[in-house]
Chain A
C-alpha cells in the first residue's frame, strides 16, 4: 500500500513559499509608485498587478493568495496529514481544487484580457498547481477509512496474503 512519505514536507514547504510570494505581491499591489517603465512586450508585472482583474469583489487577488496559503500551511502540517479526521483531508483537497480553479481564471485573465504576464504571479500559479497535484494524488491514501488508524499504529502495509 502506498504511504505518505515526502508529500507532507513537500506541501508544507510549497505552501510556505507560496505565502512568501503572496506577501510580496500584496505589498507591491498597494505600493503603486513603480520605478521605471520597462514594459516591452508580454511580460509586464505592473500591468497585471494594477489591472482591474487584480481585484475581485473589492479584494486584491494578492490578498486572496494570502487567504489561500495561510490555511493551506495549517492543513499541510505533518500532524494534519497524519490525522484520522477525514474532514481535514477533505478541507485540504477542496482548498487545493479551489486554488487551481482560481489560477485557471487568472491565467485566462492574463492571456486574454490583460494580455500580459506577471512572472511573480506565475510562480504562485505554479506552486498552487503543484500543491494540487500532490494533494489530489495523495487523496486516495488519506481519505481511506483506516488512514489515520494505520499510521497511528505504525503499520504501513496490508498483507495481500
Chain B
C-alpha cells in the first residue's frame, strides 16, 4: 500500500484503478473525474454547461503517459483512446486485407484453372432436319396465320424496323431479295429462324434445311432451331441468301467460323446494320441476327425472347404450329406475318393467296405498309 501511495505521488504515472473509486458501475468519464487532481478553478461543467461532460484535469484512468504528464486546464486527460483506436484500426485494415485476399484468391484460381477455355463445352451437332419438322413449319395452316395475325398476348413480339426511300435489294443480280446474317451459336438467331423459315416457305421451297441448337453455355442455352448453312430457297418471287457466319462449335475463346458474306452482302451489312438504320447499333459492329427484307424491313436482334422455346424439341415446336392458341406458335407466327408483309411489298402482292390473307394484311397495317 505504501508502495502504491508512493507511486501516486511521483511523476505522473498514476496506476489505473481496476474499478475506480466509484466501483465497476461507473463510466470511464466518471472514474476519470473522480481520479483527477483539480488544478484549475474551472468547474467540471464549465464549457458548454454540461455537468460531467468534461472531467476535471487529471489523468483519465490514471494511466498517465510519459513522465511529466501535467494535465492542461480544460483539456481532456490523455486517454487510452489512442491505443484503442490503434488496435481498432489494425482490426479494420485486417478485415479489408482479408476481403482483398479472398477476392484475389478467387480470381487467381479462376485464371489458373483454365476453365475459361470453352473448347470442351458440349454443343448440338448440325444434322439434316426431319421431314416431319420441315413439313410442319412450311405448311402452317392459313387459318393459324389469320387467327394469330400479329397478336401475341403472352409473348412480346417486336415488329421490324421499316425504312423509307431505300431502293429494293439486289442479290446475285436478282430483286427483290432478303438477306439473313446470323450464327449457329446465337440463341436470338435460333428464335428468329423459326419465323423466317415459315415466312419464306410461303414464297418458295426450302432444300437442305438442317437442325441444330444454340450454344449450350450462352443465354437461353441449347435453343433448338434450324441452320441455314447449306440450305437454299427456290422461289419465283424473290432471292434469298442466308449466311451463318459462326458455328456453334466452341473453340478456346469463341466459336468456329463458318461462312463469310460476299462483297455484295458485306455492303448490305455495312450500310444497313448501322446506327443510321438501327437505333442503338454501334458503327462498324454487326450483331446477330441481322435480317434485311428488301432494304424495306430490318430486324436486328430477336423479335421475341428465345426463352419461350426453352426445353422444347424441334418436334415439339413444329407440331405446335397448328395451334393458334399456343403462345410459342403465336410468337413465331406473328413474327412470320410481319416478315411476310414486308416481303409482299417487294413481290408486289404476289402470291395473292398469301399477301391478301387477313393475317398478312393485319401485319401490313401494323407496319404502316398498306
Q: Which residues of A contact B (CB under 8 A)?
A: 1-2, 32-42, 44, 46-47, 50, 100, 104, 107-108, 111-112, 115, 129, 132-133, 136-137, 139-141, 143-146, 149, 153, 155, 158-161
Contact = CB atoms under 8 A, between A and B. Distances in A.
The 6 A-B residue pairs whose C-beta atoms are closest, nearest first, are A36-B287, A140-B88, A35-B301, A37-B186, A111-B110, A159-B75
Interface centre among A39, A42, A132 (most CB of B within 10 A): A39
B259 interface: no
Given A37-B287, A107-B103, A132-B99, A161 B65 contact: yes
B94 to A, nearest CB: 9
Nearest to A160: B78
A39 B219 contact: yes
Nearest to B107: A111
B102 A104 contact: yes
A35 B300 contact: yes
Given A35-B287, A153-B48, A158 B304 contact: no
A15 B318 CA distance: 50
B156 interface: yes
Contacts of B88: 139-140, 143
Interface residues of B, number: 61
B302 A129 contact: no
A100 B118 CA distance: 30
A159 B69 CA distance: 11
Given A35-B280, A161-B71, A144 B48 contact: no
A35 B300 CA distance: 7
Given A36-B300, A115-B217, A136-B96, A145 B186 contact: no
A146 B80 CA distance: 12
Nearest to B279: A35
Interface in B46-82: 47-48, 53, 65-66, 68-72, 75-76, 78-79, 81-82
A153 B28 CA distance: 18
Nearest to A41: B253
A50 B306 CA distance: 12
Contacts, number: 122
A1 B47 CA distance: 21
Interface of B: 12, 28-29, 47-48, 53, 65-66, 68-72, 75-76, 78-79, 81-82, 84-85, 88-89, 91-93, 95-96, 99, 102-103, 106-107, 110, 115-116, 156, 158, 183, 186-189, 215, 217-220, 253-254, 280, 285, 287-289, 300-302, 304-305, 307
Contact of A112 (B85, B110, B304): B110
A49 to B, nearest CB: 9
20 contacts: A1-B85, A2-B85, A37-B186, A37-B188, A41-B253, A42-B116, A108-B106, A112-B110, A112-B115, A129-B103, A140-B84, A141-B85, A144-B84, A153-B47, A155-B76, A158-B76, A158-B78, A159-B72, A159-B75, A161-B70
A158 B107 contact: no
A149 B301 CA distance: 61
Given A36-B300, A158-B76, A159-B75, A140 B156 contact: no
Contact of B95 (A44, A136, A143): A136
Contacts of A137: 89, 92-93, 96
Nearest to B183: A37
Contacts of A107: 103, 106
Contact of A159 (B78, B156, B215, B220): B78
B99 A104 contact: yes
B53 A140 contact: no
Contacts of A159: 72, 75-76, 78
B28 A34 contact: no
Contacts of A111: 106-107, 110
Given A34-B301, A37-B287, A158 B79 contact: yes
Question: Which of A1, A37, A146, A159 has the largest number of chain B CB atoms within 10 A?
Answer: A37
Contacts of B189: 37
A61 B78 CA distance: 48
Contacts of A133: 96
